[in-house]
Each structure stands twice: as C-alpha cells, then as structure tokens.
Structure 1
Amino acid sequence: MEIQPSNEVPPPSVNSASDAEQPHDDAVVPDASNHESKESKNEIADGEVRGILEVIASTGRFWHDWDKLKGMLSFQLKQVLSEYPDAEKTSEQQNTALGETYLELVKRLDEALHGFTEGPPFTLQRLCEILLDARRIYPNLSKLALALEKNLLVTSMLTISTDPYPQSALQNAVEPEKASEEPKLHSDSMQNGVEPMVGDRDEVMVEVEQADIDDDMAIAMEAFEDIVSSETNSVQTNNS
C-alpha cells in the first residue's frame, strides 16, 4: 500500500500573500473615489462661498452658523493665498519676501481665524471684502498678509443677524423688466399712429366733456341765428 507524501500538497503561500494584500488594494480604491468627490464638492462650494461672502460684504451682517461660516472663510482664505506667485517660490525666497515660509503664513492666519470660537470678528465685513478682491487691492502677498492679520487680531465679535435674509438680487432682476415695459408700450403706440394720453385720467375726461358742451352750444347758436334770420326776412316782406 502506497502512502502519498504529505509534502506534495502545494503550500498556499503565494495565494495567501495575494489574498492578504487584496483587502489593502480594495481599501485604496474608495480613497481615490472619495478624493474625487471631495474635489467636486469644493468646486460647488466655491460659488456658494463667494455668494455668501458678497452678501456679508455688502450688508456687514451674517446669517449662517458661525462654524459653517468659519469653514467657508478658511476655504476662501487658503484659495486666495494660493493665487499669489509667492506660493510657488522656494522656502528661501519665501523667507526673504515674507519673513516666513508660505505654509507657515497660511497656518498662522488660519489659526487666527479659528481662534474665534463664539462668533466672527467685528471686522468681518472688511475681511470678506479683502478675500473677494484680494489681488486687485493688494498686489503683493506680504501686504495682503498684513491686512488679514490686522483684521484678525481683534477681540470684539458680531452676533448673528435675526433680520430676513436679503432678497435684493431677486428684486433687481424683476424691476428692470417692469421698467422696460413702459418705453415699449410708448413705441408701439407711436408706430400705430396713436399718441398715448399723458396726464390724469379724470382731467382728460373733463376736457372731453367740456368739448361736448362747447359743441352743443355752437349748434344752439346756429339754430338761434337761423330763427332770427327767418323772422327778419318775414318782417321785411310784410313792410314791402
């Protein structure tokens, strides 16, 4: 009776290694997809952030939860700072121009922003104005950094507004349409050969009624003159 050696069974060492690595590979794929979804969310949030900051810059008030608004400000802050050429320079060049590296500058300003835990600084309106138009106001990153630091090194804070959220943008979109209707009506009337009546409607009606009275009086006077003329002719005939 032959006994098959037990060492002829191939050890699953290679497959086991690949199987052990497989969960790790599977874990990497969701990370990549999550990264893409985060980028798409940031692209969508960029327009939302600018819209909210524009309302604050024009009114000086805020309506959103401070933690959410603080995240928007932090996002816009980093976005604005990254647009300056200093972000692409070497560390030595950054230290020469800014007195610190670009990453140290971003971290310092962002930490100053997050230092406000109860509410935004009272300089929020000016802060939003700077972040919305930083490149035009401050051509150099060093000057922008000083302005941002000045507006973040305060202690007084704003409270959330209880007034209704402004709807001026919607109203401005409707009012020009109403304003454009009146010239159009005027031009259409002139093209048809009819000039629209100007003035109060009651005054126009009084003028029409007065014209009717004048016409009636003219007709009555003509009839009276005819009667007088016929009587005169009759008298002359009898005398002759």
Structure 2
Amino acid sequence: MMQSRTQNDVVVSDTDADSSNHRDFVTPIPHHDQNQINNNDADVDVNASSQREQQQQQQEEVTHILQLIASTGNFWHDWDKLKSMLSFQLKQVFSEYAEAKMTSEEQYASLGESYSELVNKLDEALSCFIEGPPFTLQRVCEILLDAKGIYPNLSKLALALEKNLLVTSTLTISPDPYPQTVVQEQADQENASEEQKQEADNAAQNGVEPVVADKDEVMIEADVDDDMKVDTEAFEDINKSSETDSEPNANSA
C-alpha cells in the first residue's frame, strides 16, 4: 500500500523516496586520487619526451661518427660498438623506403624476398666481420648517410651494400689522434651547456624565468676523451624498436 507524507506542503510518496535512495550514483574520484592520475599522465609524457630526445641525440651521434669515417676513411671506435651503430643506421635507412610499409606479398613482388629477410641478411653480413670492419667501410658509410639520394630504389641499395659487405679484407683502428676539430667542438659544446645551466640557476635565484635554448641549437656529441664510449645496449634497444615498427602487416592487404 502506497503511503504519502507531507513536507512543507509537498507530497512525497514512500516509493519515490525509496527510489531516490536506491538511485545509482557515480562515486567521485577523491581529489588526491585525481592528482595522482594527472601526475602519472605527466610522468608518461615526460618519459616519452625524454626517450625521443635520447633517440635524437643518439641519431645525431651516429650520423656524426659516420660522417667522420666517410670523410677520412679511418675509424677510431671499438669495432663492436661501431658495428652496432652501423646496424642501427642500416635499419633506420631501410625503414624510410616504401617497401617497409608494404604487405609481404607486395614485398616479394618488389624485392623477391620479404623486407625483414632483406634487412636481416645484410645485418648478418655486417655481423660476420669479427676482427674489424670491411675495408669498404668508407663507402658503406657514404651510402648509409645518403641512401635515398644515391639509390632511390631499395633493391639497388641492398645490392650495393651487399656487394660492399662481401669483401674479406678488414681495417684496423686508426693510430692517428682523433681529429682535433671534433675534440674542440665537444669542449665548446660542454662549456656552452655549463654556461647555460649557470645562467638558468642565477635567473631562478633572482626570480626570473630562464630562457630555454632551442634544443636544435645545442647538439650533444660523443665522448671522445673517455675512450669515446657509446652505450651499445641503448642502440640495440632502438634496433629492436625499429624492427618492431617496420614489421609488415601481411594481413592488412
């Protein structure tokens, strides 16, 4: 039996009251939990940005070293580390060709093999050099630095690299000093970076928002005094990432 009660001249039925009491409500997120979610999102953005900057710096470092080899014909770095850089550059260059985004069927029609098979074949040919780089290293670097300009066709690029990696003679690390221009550039950049940091600290202490330099204007080069160390594992991680990104989707056709 429905009962009603009067509150301030408004009739409210018990069924309406019960219905309102059982109405579904979305529990609001506590303020501190919402802040935590926002902070987590910000951390993800910062990490992604940091990773992109790191990859860009490594790309610049690889390019700089290959340019030095292409211009001098000599190399000064540990061969295993240099090999990782060459492998990274090779995969990066190949990923820029249209064949990298084709289906498997299209790749076989264009290349006679799949894109991944072609890349792995050349990478393995590079890996076969244990004691040192092939004596064609200078030409390999020249090709990898301007691949699309020299060989617009991927199959011709692959053929040229394969030809230069079929040799058996190898080079030895250069006994000559590392080019002083590179050392001086590194020192100048480190000094400029330190000065900018000091200016930013001084501005912050004075309550003035520091002016952030354009990241394109400040390039981070390889360490040349401490045995010119290069983080091989970082390059290998990027190589794996490049392979995953460029893996064709055979079912997309």
TM-score range, shorter chain: 0.5 to 0.7
CA distance in 2, matches of 1:37, 1:92: 37
| 1:9-28 alignment runs, 5 A limit | none
Q: Higher helix share goes to which structure?
A: 1
**99, 104, 107: which is aligned to 2:120?**
107
Please state how far the C-alpha of 1:41 moved relative to its aligned partner.
2.9
**60, 66, 73: which is aligned to 2:86?**
73
CA distance in 2, matches of 1:86, 1:135: 13
TM-score (norm 1): 0.55
CA distance in 2, matches of 1:41, 1:90: 31
CA distance in 1, matches of 2:173, 2:95: 30
Q: Does 1:94 align with 2:107?
A: yes
Deviations 1:47-98 (A, max 9, x none): 0000000010011000000011001000000000000011111111100111
Partner of 2:157: 144
3-state DSSP of counterpart to 1:94: helix
Structure ID, larger Rg: 1
Q: Does 1:51 align with 2:64?
A: yes
Partner of 2:214: none
CA distance in 2, matches of 1:48, 1:171: 16
Alignment-mate amino acid for residue 151 of structure 1? N
CA distance in 1, matches of 2:163, 2:136: 9
Alignment-mate amino acid for residue 125 of structure 2? A
| 1:1-240 alignment runs, 5 A limit | 39-168=52-181
Please state how far the C-alpha of 1:166 moved relative to its aligned partner.
1.6
Alignment-mate amino acid for residue 125 of structure 1? Q
Alignment-mate amino acid for residue 66 of structure 1? W
TM-score (norm 2): 0.52
CA distance in 2, matches of 1:102, 1:150: 18
CA shift in 2, pair 1:76/1:89, >3 Å? same
Alignment-mate amino acid for residue 50 of structure 1? T
Please state how far the C-alpha of 1:40 moved relative to its aligned partner.
4.1
CA distance in 2, matches of 1:121, 1:51: 20
3-state DSSP of counterpart to 1:117: coil
CA distance in 2, matches of 1:102, 1:167: 41
3-state DSSP of counterpart to 2:64: helix
Alignment-mate amino acid for residue 150 of structure 1? K
Alignment-mate amino acid for residue 65 of structure 2? I
Deviations 1:93-146 (A, max 9, x none): 100111100011111111111111110000000000000000010010000000
Structure 1: where are the runs of 5+ without partners?
A: 1-31, 173-240
Partner of 1:211: none
Please state how far the C-alpha of 1:33 moved relative to its aligned partner.
9.3
CA distance in 1, matches of 2:59, 2:184: 24
Please state how far the C-alpha of 1:156 moved relative to its aligned partner.
0.4
